[in-house]
């Protein structure tokens, strides 16, 4: 799927400079950034679900520890 990424001038220049430093294309850097963001978001979602399950599972213990 094709899409257009609109960057301001400073962002474009910084991305271009970083791509040149790494010897990669601007597109490669942008794709990697998106992949890393999605991975972090999935990890955060899993952590949230585990926290909810853990707090329900150990509700009484947590209550006693708080006393």
Predicted local confidence at residue 29, as pLDDT: 97
Angle at the Cα of 55 (from 40 to 59), degrees rounded to 5?
175
CB count within 10 Å of CB 16 equals 14
pLDDT in tens, the chain (67 residues): 888 999 999 999 999 999 999 999 999 999 999 999 998 888 777 787 777 787 788 888 777 788 7
Predicted local confidence at residue 46, as pLDDT: 73
Nearest by Cα to 19 from 7, 8, 6, 32: 32
Predicted local confidence at residue 10, as pLDDT: 98
Predicted local confidence at residue 9, as pLDDT: 97
Q: Hey, where are the domains in the chain?
A: 29-67
């Amino acid at each position: 799927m094709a899409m257009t990424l609109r960057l301001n001038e400073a962002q474009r220049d910084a991305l271009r400079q970083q791509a040149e430093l790494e010897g990669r294309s601007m597109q490669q850097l942008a794709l990697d950034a998106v992949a890393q963001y999605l991975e972090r978001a999935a990890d955060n979602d899993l952590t949230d679900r585990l926290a909810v399950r853990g707090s329900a599972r150990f509700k009484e213990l947590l209550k006693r520890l708080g006393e």
